[in-house]
Structure 1
């Protein structure tokens, strides 16, 4: 037994005032260390808020020392049992074998039981699946039976309609009653009862049709439903026809009960529009026709004039005397007929149609005085109509109705400036929404123009700008609005250009209409844009600005300065678009050149695994790389309209971008060729070693990669000569120098020479 570590000497019995050896401060609680959720970091962080770190460290070290002493005491106290533990572990293997047998037997039983349970579970699942299928089939069968019963019921009820109404639906009820020699009062009472009975039966049929529609919606793809579809359609048509006759007769006789039942029937089959249309054509239209004639003869219409105030007064009387009864039925509380909107879809719709056909000049703003009078009368009429709406929600629904929206669209509100705004801005907007750029002849722009603008859009802009400050158009009291319109015109034109350029760069117009011109425009078309931007910029900052300042010469100097700055700012926004247009032309030309550049990928197929000798001529594709750029620069448009600065900028930019793409494609081709060559070389060396050949034998023939590089070298030499023909020094382009270093032989790396 090893020497035991002496325990600390016991404290003297007389040592009453010193701390006990295992005592701790009140804030230190070792019991917390045994907690399952003990976290050392949070424990230390909490104690450090009021205990110095050195004190905490000393106390933890003291506690650690105490734990070590306690562990040693425990080992020394039970050392004999610890040593004798190994001597008691005898015949463990026999015990394991004795325990294994029952465990194996238990496992076999569990596996057998598990198999039985799985078989039962599978059988149960199959049974449940069959039960679900049977339930689904039963549900479909019940649905089909209900559908068949409802169809039969509807057909039976429809057959009862003639027996109840006889010839009443054709309007012969009075003659039928007279033929029976009944009194006129009896005829009227009989007709009323007959009409009410008819409407009740129609409401019942409509409810059954609603139920039938519900069934069909849940089984519309089944063959049975398709077989009875004709019966359903026939029943629906008969119902609509009979319901229409009954509703018309109820309206003509103002039978409230019959009208109520018919409306409930229409609501049941969700055919509100038919009821609204019948009321419009049967009741509303004849009265409105008398107020605002709109027949084929134009003489009466012209004689009545275009004023609407008196017409609205008569229409209000008809609304009160002839239309109110139906409105009260439809708006009755708890009637369930709030789905109908006779105010908008019947009355207002008919009034709008009558004005459009009978007095179309009432909507025309060509005569501002009459237009404004008619507009105010129309607002008063709408306010009167809204008085029949029972709730604020009904008013909101009335204002949101398509007829109301269409009615308000007819009135182009505003005074003189609004008229001119539509005239001036509309002309420009129409020109800018054209699907493409429209060229104009010199005669089209008029002799008054000193500018030789080439596009109709630009000519329209200049026309609109000059119209704003024309003496026959301008009103000085509205000069601020005309100035704003002028700036809006310039902004609209600038936005048209920038949006088109952005759409072309993106590749689609998206949700921005008016950008199609840029997608279909050729590079030569953008030359016209550059020319017009230059001309417009000079005109706006020159003669046009001077003319505006002369017109506003009565204004203060401060105002004139603000006007000048605003116009010059808009003119500068046009000039800022020039680099974008040039960039667009450049991208189009580069894209065409890249199509020819892609042919260099065929060089690999030409020399890979072939016995072709080293090339001595450049590839045919090189001649077409710069052809789009040269064709563009030599074209009539670029020669006539491009300035030297724009031409040089375009030439250098396009040549640089084409060379960059050339370098990227060539570098990628060479990299792939070298990797392939390296892989093939390793394969050959491995084959030689397996065949016993000497690995020292080298192939002195020229490799495929060398042939590819030589072909590329010849190609870029020709490409450099073509650049020189255009006036571009190839050596000044960084990408060309990189391309030269990539494919040139070792003895030609230092000097670029064609």
Structure 2
């Protein structure tokens, strides 16, 4: 043992130092031996982390070196304690006896634990059995108490019902024969009732108490209806319920008849207690509302109209409103009493509105027919006003929301077929515009033919029809706010239809084909003065649509949100711009027509060549007669009554410049072509003349010879000077027209080409 306690000599050192003084067997900084001792050490993740910055061969070499060192250390440890390792088996003496001695107490402890566990399980079973019996007893006791309570409540209800008068007429008198009891069970003495009001109030209070007991009885019956005892009492319960309903109905009717607020209030609370609101609503409808409505809209039980056959509802609604204010308001106020619990009733919907709807369906079924749009809309708006009047009796917003979700309210709104109404209005309005656009010619109004119309009056029946149709969409007796999106779409479609009518006509006019596009005949046959009407009307329509018409539409839709109003505004402004965009096409069409008329005179240019070719006429000294007629169509148009009355100065200037430029372009094309042909002909003739002279040996002096081409150019030069003076007379500077300058350069003498002077 002394050898074991003596300190062991240190292991021989294996390390030697290198040239830097570090041990040769030491590991680098990245190789941490402590990582192998971590409980959660993972070899794969360890190698993966090191391989990101250490070569694989280096890592493998370090691991092998570390393994070799560990094996060496293990061998050294075994050699150091080898003596103790060998002597370990010799010190284990009498081990079996020690094991036997320790086993006996362990076995005894195990037996005690098993016995205790068995006793504990037995106690647990007994306890659970007792608890189960206790639960069964509690359930049986609960059922028994429920049956006893049910029996007591049934007896109590029957006893209270017996205290009620047997004849409803007895309630209105002060002398009521009761049983020998001087007091009812609620403690109110009936001997103090001196008049019918006190009797009704007492009876209503008693009925309210019976109703609360019946409510308890229904609760008990719902929880124990399968028990034989309860099934045997079912007839008694039904009989008591029927007696209560009958008595409560009589009391409620009597209270309504005498307008006894206390009695009515108590009856309503009784109806609410037994969850029988429908009976109260039906009684009020049949006893109060129905006779009043029958006075306004008489009809027989078979549905035949008993009064006049008119389907107008406005006056009927006025009468009904007065009756409601006079005869129904008191009950509506009672049912809307705050914190009364009477909010479960819906007399407005299930009594008043239901009876009104039924009376209209039987007495005036034609009121719902959209076949007569004007009367239909008037009735529809009157009905909306009537519903708004009824909503005024609702005490809160939640009550209004509840009223609008009632089945009779929804059914009443479905009676008004707004979709069919809009379809009829669509056909009526759109058909009116289509009819106006059908004629094969433009249709000026009466004062447009004389040019006496005011600057901002529409001149064509087609344009007037469009504006009338647009305004019809938003008239008071046409528009339905719930369909305002459809009417807006119809308005935009009307403008689009008118725009397409114009565009198609102008396209056919440009192609000069009317048969290929039916409905465009008016454009092919129209003269420039007719198109002036369209230019004027488009300006007026665009101004009206983007001005007063837009304001009127926004005013009608003022109840909508800002976002909706912005969308409506942008769409209408865009439609007005679409009309404005057609005006340049009309101006172009007018210019093309005027140019074609002017070109008819320009075609006389061909006669200039015939005048001077192969003739001895002297050089021209004045312009040709045709020049005066070139700009005549343009001048006549601009000086005409229609242009003066309906075209703005800006439009006139645009037409003048456009036509002048276009006519000058055509003038230049014809003149340049004419000069080119003359020069080519002159060149050919000179070649022939020179050949003849050469063969004849003649030697003529050509120093003063003026060729036919020079004469033609001189004539054209005189013509365009006169043409330029005519342009100036109209207010157009010829020098600013590129084609005129090019024509001047083509025909002017050499000494005048750089200066344009008339």
Q: TM-score, normalised by structure 1?
A: 0.49
Larger radius of gyration: 2
